[in-house]
A and B are shown apart, each in its own frame.
Chain A
Amino acid sequence: MKTQVRAGAVLLAGVLAGSVYGVTLTLPQQQQQDSSGQQPGQQNQDNKKKKDNSKNAAANQSGQAGAPPANTPPPNNPPPAGNQPSGDKPTPLFGGTIGLKSSRQTKDSATLGFNGVDPNGQVQKAMLTAAATPLDAMKAQQVAQTTVTPADLAQFLQDGGLNPDAAPQKP
């Protein structure tokens, strides 16, 4: 009986001690997980690759070239709803035999047109790790300043036969 009690007590103490260790080991693991969630590539900007300058040049060229497509104002009167294609099957906008179209027309520009992605359509890693340039920041600032005036929007909604009422704003 004495032996059984001793054996039971030792076994119980061992199990309990094991569970205590289990708890104390779990905490550092969680902390490790938290810190490993940060992307290492984001930490060191100095190691990031410089972007190809020629790409910037091409973008500048395309941004500066040419005038807006038409000098005439947008159509004031929307076509009647009945004139809209209804239940129409999507058809290529630019014509052609393949299902997907490029907005550029020549072979050279089509290659240039897929800027930023590899043949599988995935963004190149070098692109993701490169830092934005001051020119990029300036362009983003321009985007931030892009707005439409209430008057323009009202006219646009009216022309298109769209709903002039906005949803109530949430806080």
Chain B
Amino acid sequence: MKLRNILFGLLTTTLLAQSSFAQLGGVLKNAQKAKKAADIYTPWTPEQEQAIGQASAAKLINVFHVYDNPDMTRYVNLVGNTVARQSGRSVLYHFAILDTDVVTAVSLPGGYIFITRGALANLHNEAELAGVLSHEVAHVDRRHLEKEIRAQKTAQFAKEEAASHVPAGAELINIAGSVVTRALTLQVSRDKESEADKVGVEMSSKAGYDASGLRNFLQFLAAVPTTPETKQALGLWGSTHPPLGDRINSLNAVLPSYPATGQKLAERYAWYVNPPAFAHQAGPATAAAAPAANEVDGIVSQGVVVITNGKLAEGTRVKVRPQP
């Protein structure tokens, strides 16, 4: 009987101890979950977002360099702001061109959006450009990259103690490195990509563009044959976005709900983005050959031949022979 009492006493003590440990464990687990959720859903302040965005932009520019063509950059900014003003969240957007033949576009926190020279060379009209840019604007508008960074705790900044100040110095460099590494090496989650596609289409359409611009460009990329050159050009796009076929199918499902009367503006696109425009900004080794004597380069825009390289005296009569 005595032994039984001892055993019951031991059992009761053990049960109580287990119960309090379990409760403590549960409380700690819940606290950690709550903190993680708070980290994910507490958005960066505009000051934090701006500082991180600009530092990340510097890091991205370190990788690819900026393509310094004021006219083309201004055009990209006009198209980008045309769709961004349909986004809703108050962000001052900045668009720039990266100096690489790689075909991609990248968005960073704070409204920094980059499209590559290679992407511009392969778009066919302004609606396609608007489609690509609006997809990136949607990522910024919905804070997709920021949420991924916070969720994964890849940045020092995600720690609670850093959440109340604008990062600077080494801390900012670390965060920018994390942001750019993530943007250039990993996909954001499939649902966020899908959301960006759909929100982007809506923005493009509301802006007055043909809503199928992004879908058409993705179809073009999907049809590109695989060669070493195209593999190099499209590898980054493939590794940071879901498969083209999946995205095209998803877009095909939503496009019928948008008006088919949007603008494509192929001629305006060709006016700003064309081989002579690129060649003028290339370095000495890559500049387009000067036209032969009594010749100039030009492009037809709005039914008018615009001279893009060389000069002719006022009043000179010309004959135009189109080049393939």
Interface, chain A (partner B; CB < 8 A): 2, 5-6, 9, 12-13, 16-17, 19-20, 23-24, 26-27, 30, 34, 37-39, 41-43, 45, 51, 55-56, 58-59, 61-70, 72, 74-75, 77-79, 81, 83-86, 88, 90-91, 93-95, 98-106, 108-110, 112-123, 127-133, 136-137, 139-144, 146-148, 152-153, 156-157, 159-163, 166-171
A63 shortest CB reach to chain B, Å = 3
B249 at the interface (CB under 8 A from A): no
Chain B interface extent, by class: 35 or more
Residue of A nearest to B68 (CB): A63
Asked if B248 lies at the interface with its beta carbon under 8 angstroms from chain A, I say: no
Q: Is B77 an interface residue (CB 8 A)?
A: yes
Query: What residues make up the interface of B, taking CB atoms closer than 8 Å to A?
Result: 3-4, 7-8, 10-11, 14-15, 17-18, 21-22, 24-25, 28-29, 32, 54-55, 57-59, 61-75, 77-78, 81-82, 85-90, 92, 94-96, 99-103, 112, 117-118, 120-126, 152-156, 170, 173-174, 176-178, 180-181, 184-185, 206-209, 216-217, 219-220, 223-225, 227-239, 261, 263-268, 270-288, 301-302, 304, 306-308, 324
Is B154 within 8 A of A37, CB to CB?
A: yes
Q: Given contacts A108-B285, A140-B58, is CB(A132)–CB(B176) below 8 Å?
A: yes
A113 to B185, CA, bound (A): 20
* 8 smallest beta-carbon distances between A and B, as pairs: A121-B235, A63-B68, A113-B101, A69-B277, A162-B208, A109-B286, A103-B121, A140-B58
User: A143: which of B29, B57, B261 is its contact (CB, 8 Å)?
Assistant: B57
Determine if A9 and B10 form an interchain contact, defined as CB atoms under 8 angstroms apart: yes
Q: Tell whether, in the assembled complex, residue B11 and residue A121 are in contact, meaning their CB atoms are under 8 Å apart.
A: no
What are 25 A-B contacts with C-beta separation under 8 Å?
A: A9-B11, A37-B152, A51-B62, A61-B283, A61-B284, A62-B281, A62-B282, A68-B70, A70-B307, A72-B306, A83-B267, A99-B225, A100-B224, A103-B120, A108-B285, A114-B233, A118-B232, A121-B233, A128-B181, A137-B55, A143-B57, A144-B57, A148-B74, A156-B78, A163-B208
- Which residues of chain A are within 8 angstroms of B121 by Cβ–Cβ distance? 93-94, 101-103
- Is there contact, CB below 8 Å, between A117 and B235? yes
Q: Which of B10, B61, B224, B274 has the most CB of A within 10 A?
A: B61
- Cβ contacts under 8 Å, B224 to chain A: 99-100
> What residues on A are CB-neighbors of B90 within 8 Å?
169-171
Tell me whether A132 and B62 are in contact in the complex, defined as CB-CB below 8 angstroms, given that A98-B225, A100-B230 are known contacts: yes
Q: Is the interface of B mostly helix, strand, loop or mixed?
A: helix
Pair A42/B286 contact, Cβ less than 8 Å: no
**Of A62, A93, A114, which is within 8 A of B102 by CB?**
A114
Find out whether the CB atom of B28 lies under 8 angstroms from the CB atom of A27: yes
B239 touches A122 (CB 8 A): yes
Q: Which of B67, B74, B121 neighbours the largest number of chain A CB atoms within 10 Å of its CB?
A: B121
